């Protein structure tokens, strides 16, 4: 739904909506078993819920398009991810409460491990502790570049944010991260004239930083991607007339939620604490976005068994989620991360919506094959929010 139409149709109500996003939810079957991670896991609560819900598969961006986390979530929040494009650097910066100024260009950085030939052998530097990343960044503070201030902040594990603060910096700069191992980091290139200076500064920064970290045993290299300035998005609470809270452990998802105007609530402890936070702030908000990261992490690591187990872990929270008593409860994913591929993929993502007004289909379980038989079919993820608002009786009739 067009966001202008959305704000025209939105009407106030006292109903409550919960969107649980299981990051990288969708999977693929192991050839020998014909069952995906979801199909192999023991998830009795999700299965039972699926049988009395509207069920389907969401297409995050479009056929064949593998989304990053940004587009995957934006779509679930009702923003066409082909229209609204947010740089990863901005997501990371906002996620750690870094206040981006209007001239700042932010990038997401990763420490990585380089082999003797300068090729990337581990894209995550063995997932070094956040504290080590913080120490390394302190060493990089000596770097000076002409005409810009350099700001560096650790995010989590091997991840950090670089912000270049100065006048006249464009943000159309190519990644230095090849996103595969066995090759060396790339040079940054400008995509337009206004970004030529930025690309040059980025390459100077990387060269100096590289020299400083070269002796570190694992984090002896770095890559930068997602160069971007702060975007001004239409605000979710204003469009739909809901007070919206985000309950996410990882900074990037809190950042994304903040960009669309949701209020992030602290909950470092995971699902138990996230559910408790929803309960504690029940009267303060109408819409709760609850993010569960473990599914994606297991998928990215190619760990089929672990993805099964973290799905089973999530399943045990489903009764608590139902007991919150929301008018609309959704179980969704921002994209697929099949363990078989050890990466995000383009495959549609299982989805479930539970409310008083559901129309049942033929899905009897919550997995990729069963969701095909649900009443929602395979549909664009950008339709999730209008659907939720309809089920929450928060949309006026269109036309006479």
Contacting residues toward a copy of itself, per CB under 8 A: 1-2, 5, 9, 28-29, 34, 36, 61-71, 81-82, 85-88, 91, 108, 225-226, 338, 340-341, 344-347, 357-362, 368-369, 372-373, 375-380, 383, 385-391, 395-400
Pick the closer one to a copy of itself by CB: 271 or 335: 335
Pick the closer one to a copy of itself by CB: 197 or 394: 394
Find the Cα–Cα–Cα–Cα dihedral 165, 166, 168, 170, rounded to 10°: -20
Q: If we measure between CA atoms, which residue out of 124, 103, 102, 104 comes closest to residue 113?
A: 124
Phi and psi dihedrals of 277, rounded to 5?
A: -65, -40
Pick the closer one to a copy of itself by CB: 1 or 148: 1
Q: Are 117 and 237 in contact (CB under 8 A)?
A: no
Pick the closer one to a copy of itself by CB: 284 or 360: 360
To a copy of itself, the closest distance from the beta carbon of 149 in angstroms equals 24
Pick the closer one to a copy of itself by CB: 108 or 294: 108
To a copy of itself, the closest distance from the beta carbon of 162 in angstroms equals 14
Find the Cα–Cα–Cα–Cα dihedral 297, 301, 302, 305, rounded to 10°: -60
Pick the closer one to a copy of itself by CB: 8 or 144: 8
Quote the CA–CA distance of 58 and 334 in Å, as a whole number. Answer: 9
To a copy of itself, the closest distance from the beta carbon of 320 in angstroms equals 23
> How many CA atoms lie within 13 Å of 286's alpha carbon, on the beta-carbon side?
17
To a copy of itself, the closest distance from the beta carbon of 95 in angstroms equals 12
Pick the closer one to a copy of itself by CB: 299 or 338: 338
Query: Which tokens in the block code for residue 311?
Result: 């799905």
- Distances from the Cα of 397 to the Cα of 5, 31, 241, 393, angstroms: 11, 47, 16, 10
To a copy of itself, the closest distance from the beta carbon of 338 in angstroms equals 8
Residue-by-residue DSSP string for 44-99: HHHHHHHHTSEEEEEESSSTT----HHHHHHHHTT--TTT----HHHHHHHHTT--
Pick the closer one to a copy of itself by CB: 220 or 286: 286
Query: Which tokens in the block code for residue 313?
Result: 């872990």
Instruction: Output DSSP code: residue 392.
Output: T
Phi and psi dihedrals of 193, rounded to 5?
A: -60, -40
To a copy of itself, the closest distance from the beta carbon of 373 in angstroms equals 7
What pairs with residue 378 in β-bridges? 57
Q: Are 109 and 160 in contact (CB under 8 A)?
A: yes
To a copy of itself, the closest distance from the beta carbon of 141 in angstroms equals 26
Q: If we measure between CA atoms, which residue out of 377, 365, 332, 370 comes closest to residue 351?
A: 332
To a copy of itself, the closest distance from the beta carbon of 225 in angstroms equals 7
């Amino acid at each position: 739904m067009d966001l202008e139409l959305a704000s025209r149709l939105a009407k106030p109500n006292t109903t409550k909506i919960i969107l649980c996003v299981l990051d990288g939810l969708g999977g693929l079957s192991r050839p020998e078993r014909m069952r995906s991670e979801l199909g192999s896991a023991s998830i009795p609560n999700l299965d039972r819920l699926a049988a009395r819900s509207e069920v389907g598969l969401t297409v995050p961006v479009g056929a064949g398009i593998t989304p990053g986390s940004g587009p995957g979530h934006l779509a679930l929040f009702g923003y066409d991810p082909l229209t609204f494009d947010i740089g990863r650097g901005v997501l990371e910066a906002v996620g750690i409460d870094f206040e981006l100024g209007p001239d700042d260009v932010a990038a997401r950085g990763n420490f990585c491990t380089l082999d003797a030939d300068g090729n990337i052998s581990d894209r995550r530097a063995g997932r070094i502790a956040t504290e080590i990343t913080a120490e390394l960044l302190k060493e990089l503070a000596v770097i000076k570049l002409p005409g810009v201030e350099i700001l560096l902040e650790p995010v989590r594990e091997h991840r950090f944010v670089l912000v270049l603060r100065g006048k006249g910096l464009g943000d159309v700069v190519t990644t230095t991260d090849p996103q595969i191992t066995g090759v060396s980091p790339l040079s940054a290139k400008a995509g337009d004239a206004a970004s030529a200076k930025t690309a040059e500064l980025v390459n100077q920064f990387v060269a100096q930083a590289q020299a400083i970290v070269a002796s570190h045993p694992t984090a002896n290299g770095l890559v930068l991607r997602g160069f971007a300035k702060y975007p001004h998005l239409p605000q979710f609470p204003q469009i739909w007339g809901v007070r919206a809270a985000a309950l996410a452990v990882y900074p990037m998802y809190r950042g994304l939620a903040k960009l669309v105007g949701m209020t992030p609530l602290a909950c470092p402890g995971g699902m138990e604490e996230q559910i408790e936070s929803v309960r504690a702030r029940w009267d303060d908000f109408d819409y709760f976005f609850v993010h569960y990261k473990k599914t994606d992490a297991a998928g990215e690591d190619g760990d089929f068994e672990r993805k099964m187990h973290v799905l089973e872990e999530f399943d045990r929270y489903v009764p608590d989620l139902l007991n919150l008593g929301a008018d609309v409860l959704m179980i969704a994913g921002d994209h697929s991360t099949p363990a078989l591929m050890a990466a995000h993929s383009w495959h549609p993502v299982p989805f479930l919506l539970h409310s008083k007004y559901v129309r049942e289909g033929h899905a009897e379980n919550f997995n990729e094959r069963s969701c095909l038989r649900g009443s929602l079919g395979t549909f664009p993820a950008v339709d999730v929010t209008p659907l939720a608002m309809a089920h929450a009786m928060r949309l006026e009739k269109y036309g006479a």
